[in-house]
Amino acid sequence: MNPLFQDVRLEFRIRFAASVLFALLIMACAIPVAAVTWSDYEIRLTTHVDFDGVPAVIETDDGFLWIFWSRKIIDRYNLFYVKSANSGVSWSQETQLTANGSANLGVSAFQVADGAVWVVWASDRTGNYDLYYKFSSDFGVSWSDDTQLTFDSGKDLKPVICQMSDESIWIVWSSSRSGGYDIYAKTSSDNGASWSDAIRLTMDSSLDKMPSIAQMSNGVIWVVWASDRTGNYDLYYKVSSDLGVSWSDDTQLTSGPKIDSNPCALQTADGKIWVFLSRRAPTETATDDIHYISSSDGGATWQGSFQFTTDKYDDVWPSVVQTRLMKMWVVWTSDRADQPDWGNYDIYYRTSLVGDINGDGIVDVLDLTRASFAFGLFEGEPGYDPEADINADGIVDMRDIFLVAVNLGAT
């Protein structure tokens, strides 16, 4: 072949490759950015022939993802869980966590500072609903006995657990001990060796139920719950900036004709506060869907509501976590009709699309190009791209490139 022709062809290839790269760069920067995008599939986790519901999802510091839930077997409800070491590619066998002839419902889980995994729930094994907890210090190899936490004659339901920055453990729940239903809390500063008296957090004469608790990066504790104090169930919250010594007034978070319940609050690595919830129209034939709202300014203003599920059957009881790989996992209960056991409740989950920088619903070369273009730039520098700073640490670096690369092709 003529050497001159070879040189011309090589130059053409180089110029063509450069033009493609330039076009990809322009496209990556031109496509509008979405606040968050989600996988285009929803995964069914359980296939039990009866009720599986009210899940809780956590990630432990060994990188395992855990999902807990309540299962009905012959009119008894017991707790089960599964684990995944590979971000849901495969799951462990189901493990039964409680075994008694009563109803064990409303599970919540948290890994505390010493590494132990704590689980709290409500049980009617004494003839009345009280709260119980147990923990594992060896990542589920063994578990402590069930320990009863509350002994009141009122019903104690839907507990949630969280550990604060001072390492105190908080359990918050809804109780009928005051005549209606109100939100209560108990705390322990010695890893469960002793507990405070029950602390009443709401005083309204209406029904306050289904709480969620989270401590934000600035130390503020948020408690969010559902209340019918306006004649319709809406979400409310209150906050404490001094580890529960004092609290703000109750603040209404959602309003409108639809019924809002089952909130789950969390803060992601970028500082955004999220509240996921169940929502349905106030009619007998209406069904629930999962929605979410979010705030990027500490709750001063809110964006949403965004509808997360669109199935015509019930989607309820969301639980949400963001993993160390920045992926948000939303786990919930549904009776959707694609199940072989039609009409039965099972556990489903869906995840965010980590690395979808331009918000077009796929992690691809456009996202990788955009991250590469911002590589090495710190927050505040010209050209810094906050969407490419996936782990929100103030610099676009190899950790962000890795998060795009590891998710290439995800939809």
Mean pLDDT, residues 143-168: 98
Q: Is 91 helix (H, G, I), strand (E, B) or coil?
A: coil
pLDDT in tens, 229-239: 999 999 999 99
Mean pLDDT, residues 6-27: 44
pLDDT surpasses 90 at 16: no
Rg (CA), the chain: 24
Q: Tell me what pLDDT residue 161 has.
A: 98
Higher pLDDT, 339 or 260: 260
Q: Tell me what pLDDT residue 19 has.
A: 42
In this prediction, what percent of the chain has a pLDDT beyond 70?
90
pLDDT in tens, 385-410: 999 999 999 999 999 999 999 999 99
pLDDT in tens, 259-280: 999 999 999 999 999 999 999 9
Query: What are the domain boundaries of the chain?
Result: 3-30+357-405, 43-351
CATH class entry, domain 3-30+357-405: mainly alpha
Provide the whole-model pTM. Answer: 0.91
Q: Tell me what pLDDT residue 340 has.
A: 66
pLDDT surpasses 80 at 103: yes
Has domain 43-351 been given CATH number 2.120.10.10?
yes
Q: Tell me what pLDDT residue 341 has.
A: 65
CA distance 130 to 124: 6
Q: How confident is the model at residue 35 (pLDDT cuts 50, 70, 90)?
A: low
Mean pLDDT, residues 48-60: 96
Q: What is the DSSP string of 277-296?
A: EEEE-SSTT---EEEEEEES
Q: Tell me what pLDDT residue 145 has.
A: 97
Burial class of residue 333 (count of CB atoms within 10 Å of its CB; 0-12, 13-18, 19+): buried
Q: How confident is the model at residue 75 (pLDDT cuts 50, 70, 90)?
A: confident
Mean pLDDT, residues 300-327: 95
Q: Is 270 helix (H, G, I), strand (E, B) or coil?
A: coil
CA distance 400 to 378: 13
